[in-house]
Amino acid sequence: MMHLKMYINGEWVDAASKKTREIVNPANGEIIALAAEGDVEDARHAIQVARQAFDSGVWSEQPPAERARYLFAIADKLEERAEEIGRLETLDNGKPLRETAFDVADAVACFRYYAGLVTKPDGQTYHVADPMQALVIREPVGVCGLIVPWNYPLLMGVWKIAPALAAGNTIVFKPSEITPVTTIKLFEIIDEVGIPKGVANMVLGAGATVGNELAESHLVDKISFTGGTVTGRSIMKAAAGNIKKISLELGGKSPNIVFADADFETAVDYALFAIFANQGQVCAAGSRLLLEDSIHDRFVERLVERAKNIRVGAGDDPSTEMGPLVSQAHMEKVLHYIELGKAEGARLMCGGNRITDNGREKGYYVEPTIFTDTTPSMKIVQEEIFGPVLAIQRFQDEADAIRIANDTVYGLAGGVFTQDGAKAMRVVKKLRAGITWINCYHPTYNEAPWGGYKQSGIGRGLGTFGFDEFTEVKQININLQVQPTGWFEN
């Protein structure tokens, strides 16, 4: 059994209260670890330490090439331990090994991307009247509170930790209380490469206590959060006290639009991938499938046939295509939505149940589930379920597709399948969403900005945009003729 501690000021520590939390393997309900259960006091300690480290300049004043050297070293060590860390992620989160292998590789690449970026040309000059010389530079924001969810425990952390550290900030990181294992491995690596004490800190504990303290504390300059929209709203409120900079990557109910002229098998394949990858626990999941009327029935038939064949099992079984959901509580939430869908009058085409046969009775397995005959006001159409539940909507023409696609409070992502390139571009440009795909769904790149319109968030992660979120912009105006203005006579 693993004993998981917090990492504060370069030391591994228990919670001040000595409380612990049981960490559960969602494949079978077994307890795999006891994690320190920090609370407000621990969060305050970590914040204080990060504040001192930032103000001392021990990190922000290092040359960018030096910070990059640390980040490259982290990437190398993460890569060396990829298999071990991938296995641990599967153990803690449940997702299949092929997904965790991908996540770790992506995390490695993310560190390398930001290590490279930080030494590249930066800033601007702007031209003003002589004798002034003017320029813009970017500086770190300061102490950053980073809060992430459980669906990609390591990767969501790295998407924030890598750019935050590259830019010269100090950090207090909080993983989801139910999936802390792999980020602890990451902090072991951070410790090994010798990042100065106090620069990178990790606290464990509940969002309502530890997370809220990060959002509220006046010693924290910036909060970067990924998770549900309800939590995002509460973080915005908590962050108002000292007008913190905030970046929020929130939920979605993203439309995947398939026109009749799409390549049929490609569209079916991606429709499955869009909703059932990572058990549907993806903020950008294509959880609404919009089908053009003329292909609706044929498409649903093929989709259902393939969904029924998805192999659902333990993540560490190499033949598994879909693992368990992350926790019992989350499984219950998803099953509740399925009941709601039935009660609302949607037609259940496949799935709809917890899976309990063949040794799966102790895990949190839910069948790939597809609803048709939905109406726009149904909760299963409007609300983020965050599980393997697809709501299909029917449309008549291009304008109808766009209207239905934009008809939720969310605006994270969207996909379009058609062989008409001009139509694809027209539709994508009308989508009120930050991430779009044409004839594919889900590819995500470290180079490209990630984030949403509307209630899907504020700001962008990844790419240069994600780096900028961890910087402040300063203008510097330099007088090249040092003499009085003469504005006042005496």
Binding to ligand NDP by residue 364, rule CB under 6 A? no
Count how many Cα atoms sit within 13 Å of the Cα of residue 51 in the half-sphere of its side chain. Answer: 12
In angstroms, the Cα distances linking 159 to 169, 173, 256 are: 14, 12, 25
| 149 or 434: CB nearest ligand NDP | 149
Catalytic residue selected from 110, 283, 292, 350? 283
Binding to ligand NDP by residue 149, rule CB under 6 A? yes
What's the closest the beta carbon of residue 283 comes to ligand NDP, in angstroms?
Answer: 3
| 150 or 365: CB nearest ligand NDP | 150
In this structure, what token pair is assigned to residue 98? Answer: 């092929």
**265 is an active site residue:** no
Q: Let me know: does 337 contact 385? Beta carbons within 8 Å.
A: yes
CA dihedral 394, 400, 404, 405 (to 10 degrees): 100
**Which residue reads 């998803």 in tokens?**
334
- Give the x-and-dash track for 234-263 against ligand NDP (CB under 6 A): xx--------------xx------------
Q: How many residues does the chain have?
A: 490
Strands 31-36 and 20-24: antiparallel
Binding to ligand NDP by residue 226, rule CB under 6 A? yes
Residue whose beta carbon is closest to ligand NDP? 207
Q: How far apart are CA 371 and CA 348, in angstroms?
A: 5
**Which residue reads 């990609």 in tokens?**
152
| 168 or 227: CB nearest ligand NDP | 227
Residue 42, amino acid: D
Q: How far apart are CA 427 and CA 438, in angstroms?
A: 10
Q: How far apart are CA 223 and CA 110, in angstroms?
A: 20
| 363 or 452: CB nearest ligand NDP | 452
What's the angle, vertex CA 22, arms to CA 19 and CA 23, rounded to 5?
130
Strands 170-174 and 143-147: parallel
**Which residue reads 């464990």 in tokens?**
204
Single out the residue of 35, 215, 338, 413 in contact with ligand NDP (rule: CB under 6 A). 215
In this structure, what token pair is assigned to residue 149? Answer: 């969810």
| 236 or 304: CB nearest ligand NDP | 236
Binding to ligand NDP by residue 151, rule CB under 6 A? yes
Binding to ligand NDP by residue 103, rule CB under 6 A? no
Alpha-helical (H) ranges within 81-228 are 82-93, 97-117, 153-166, 181-192, 212-216
**283 is an active site residue:** yes
Single out the residue of 231, 247, 320, 446 in contact with ligand NDP (rule: CB under 6 A). 231
Q: How far apart are CA 364 and CA 366, in angstroms?
A: 7
Single out the residue of 227, 255, 351, 388 in contact with ligand NDP (rule: CB under 6 A). 227
Single out the residue of 25, 93, 170, 212 in contact with ligand NDP (rule: CB under 6 A). 212
What's the closest the beta carbon of residue 202 comes to ligand NDP, in angstroms?
Answer: 12
In this structure, what token pair is assigned to residue 418? Answer: 């058609």
- Give the x-and-dash track for 128-147 against ligand NDP (CB under 6 A): -------------------x
In this structure, what token pair is assigned to residue 386? Answer: 């965050």
Name the segment binding ligand NDP (CB under 6 A); options: 79-87, 227-235, 285-293, 460-468. 227-235
Listed residue (251, 275, 227) closest to 388, CA to CA:
275
Q: How far is CA 54 from the centre of its chain?
A: 25
> According to CB under 6 A, which residues from 282 to 311 bind ligand NDP?
283
Binding to ligand NDP by residue 228, rule CB under 6 A? yes
Name the segment binding ligand NDP (CB under 6 A); options: 109-117, 204-212, 337-345, 390-398. 204-212
Residue 241, amino acid: G
Binding to ligand NDP by residue 417, rule CB under 6 A? no
| 384 or 469: CB nearest ligand NDP | 384
What's the closest the beta carbon of residue 327 comes to ligand NDP, in angstroms?
Answer: 9
What's the closest the beta carbon of residue 198 comes to ligand NDP, in angstroms?
Answer: 22
Rounded-to-5 percentages of helix, strand, coil across the chain: 40, 25, 40
Listed residue (16, 40, 117) closest to 466, CA to CA:
117
Within 10 angstroms of residue 369's Cβ, the number of other Cβ atoms is 27
Single out the residue of 167, 384, 394, 437 in contact with ligand NDP (rule: CB under 6 A). 384
Q: Let me know: does 448 contact 463? Beta carbons within 8 Å.
A: yes
Binding to ligand NDP by residue 174, rule CB under 6 A? yes
| 367 or 384: CB nearest ligand NDP | 384
Binding to ligand NDP by residue 206, rule CB under 6 A? yes
Angle between helix 153-166 and helix 82-93 axes, rounded to 10 deg: 130
Catalytic residue selected from 249, 367, 384, 469? 249
Single out the residue of 37, 42, 99, 177 in contact with ligand NDP (rule: CB under 6 A). 177
Name the segment binding ligand NDP (CB under 6 A); options: 10-18, 19-27, 209-217, 356-364. 209-217
Residue 472, amino acid: E
What's the closest the beta carbon of residue 169 comes to ligand NDP, in angstroms?
Answer: 19
| 148 or 161: CB nearest ligand NDP | 148
Binding to ligand NDP by residue 416, rule CB under 6 A? no
Binding to ligand NDP by residue 208, rule CB under 6 A? yes
Positions in the binding site for ligand NDP (CB under 6 A): 147-151, 174, 176-177, 206-208, 211-212, 215, 226-228, 231, 234-235, 250-251, 283, 384, 386
Positions marked active-site: 249, 283
